Structure 1
């Protein structure tokens, strides 16, 4: 991060037509972006190599949508280029759904330049961004200096924070056949049937079998057997049963839906968890993680003794 925030620089030759820029924006004065759509990466040209001496962000193509406001979350696509020779290193356009970035106090603290430029731009904007590459770790290849061009696809207020659904509301969903059900194979591995209705926006915790062991707290380390599926298509993405053994983990080191859903349960309990995206991996989730609402079967088999 840097303290060199220039703010709106309408008279600066490094600015876009709107002049929205922050940081060491002289680095980006040669960057030009053309073409592209919400689904296809644009062409990016610049004087090679870029001399990346600090953090910089600049709106290189103005958007024509609504102004982006602090507190909103933006959906975006990016293309990353090698700052030395302009080679495309990767993009999100080819991966399908746009990514999500909250324009909140966390972004303001961690990446003040990008925060300032986003809140000074409109939906549809193309934003050039760069920062010096981290120092190389001994024995590993150096990370190339990169130029990122980010396109804002949309901006909206984030969904309300989920809550833990009350037992009465869980029972109502269950009575109305709006919750997943499980069957079990010869080896005890669960299979799921997911109903056609939309999932709850809140965390669903249904006790299938109550254990008789110790009660779990949010700071405990536990051992559990589990399997997980995406609500939208029933695709299984993880299973300890396939690995052949339960997994030990701290409840402080897992997704929030697990922490909140398993706290207060007892060792030996079998549970259905329906976890909304904000308390899972997000919607969309980072690459390699399942998106949206997730369904889990969990059996708590043990709790580690406190040290």
Structure 2
């Protein structure tokens, strides 16, 4: 459940300037925002493709990548992306020299997630400006000069990346106790069984998970209340909601884990702050508050956790 700093799409594609609307390659009609040296992308056009398959991308070869550029090359017909939402996307990367496909996320399964929030605005203000107001379904072309290689290393090819905005979801909230009880009464929450060592196993219902954070206290402890600034020691197990696959468990390792509550995924911070030491808690964590940019074997999508809070230590 610990945070891991990953290279996000935003960091990979830091834009340098934000401009006004660009035009469709075929109709000449305004299609959305542009950023940077957008004249680089004037010849880029996309056709075909779907949410599961990359489009065909054509451009005048070679593409002279003289600066950073972003341009909407095909506008979708969905709702506009709003500030504070989280964008699901797929992308395909091409060699700017000859158009060869270098890789794509479509072949990796589910779309990836990018948060259009204040962090993105601070780290990549121009990308933030491009995404806010973009319609779901749009195809956005990006490029930037490749970094100079280290001594003895081979230079990376200049790339053109075409990103499709698949969907946009709002920032989650903590589901109210009344709504949690309603889901529980309807049999729409995961349940647990335990072996003779107290190790939990989960049964996940077939319904879609809540878009908001579910916190259900299975057994309330009698200890002190945990603050967000505290470090806690806890036993836990975690599973993917979609497949019920266990991906982490302190029970399996034979000892609880200790960590600052401010240094874990947001669903843990929001779900465990305010709980009492000794409590046993179910968390159903939506993707934006789990691992929105999973790496190093981290799971994607909505997650389920069983957590027993063993102790806490206040921050000094």
TM-score bin (small chain): 0.7 to 0.9
Count of paired positions: 299
Structure of greater relative contact order (alpha carbons < 8 Å, 6+ residues apart): 2
> Is the counterpart of residue 68 in structure 1 residue 80 in structure 2?
yes
Q: Could you report, residue by residue, the CA deviation over 1:280-302 in whole angstroms, capped at 9, with x for unpaired residues?
A: 335xx646543443221112223
Q: Could you tell me which of 294, 298, 306 is aligned with 1:297?
A: 306
Against the structure 1 CA distance between its residues 9 and 206, is the aligned structure 2 distance closer, same or farther, given a 3 Å change threshold? Answer: closer
> Is the counterpart of residue 162 in structure 1 residue 166 in structure 2?
no
- Partners of 1:220 and 1:137 lie apart in 2 by 42
> Is the counterpart of residue 99 in structure 1 residue 104 in structure 2?
no
For 2:68, the equivalent position in structure 1 comes to 55
> Is the counterpart of residue 184 in structure 1 residue 194 in structure 2?
yes
- Partners of 2:68 and 2:304 lie apart in 1 by 41
Deviates more, 1:23-32 or 1:251-260: 23-32
For 2:263, the equivalent position in structure 1 comes to 253
Q: Could you report, residue by residue, the CA deviation over 1:133-177 in whole angstroms, capped at 9, with x for unpaired residues?
A: 3455679876543211112345x5x336322432x5545554554
Against the structure 1 CA distance between its residues 262 and 141, is the aligned structure 2 distance closer, same or farther, given a 3 Å change threshold? Answer: farther
> Is the counterpart of residue 86 in structure 1 residue 96 in structure 2?
no
Deviates more, 1:251-260 or 1:121-130: 121-130
Aligned pairs for 1:243-282 (under 5 A) are 243-281=253-291
Aligned pairs for 1:234-249 (under 5 A) are 234-249=244-259
- Provide structure 1 residue ranges, at least 5 long, that are not aligned to the other structure: none
SS in structure 2 opposite 1:90? strand
Shift in Å, 1:78: 0.8
Q: Is the 8 A contact 2:22 2:72 kept in 1?
A: no
Q: Is the 8 A contact 2:76 2:139 kept in 1?
A: no
For 2:4, the equivalent position in structure 1 comes to none
Please report the TM-score for the alignment, with normalisation by the length of structure 2. 0.75
- Provide structure 2 residue ranges, at least 5 long, that are not aligned to the other structure: 1-13
Shift in Å, 1:230: 2.6
Shift in Å, 1:218: 0.5
> Is the counterpart of residue 33 in structure 1 residue 49 in structure 2?
no
Aligned pairs for 1:124-143 (under 5 A) are 124-134=137-147, 136=149
Q: Is the 8 A contact 2:215 2:284 kept in 1?
A: yes
- Partners of 2:213 and 2:126 lie apart in 1 by 35
SS in structure 2 opposite 1:218? coil
Structure whose CA Rg is larger: 1
Shift in Å, 1:82: 3.1
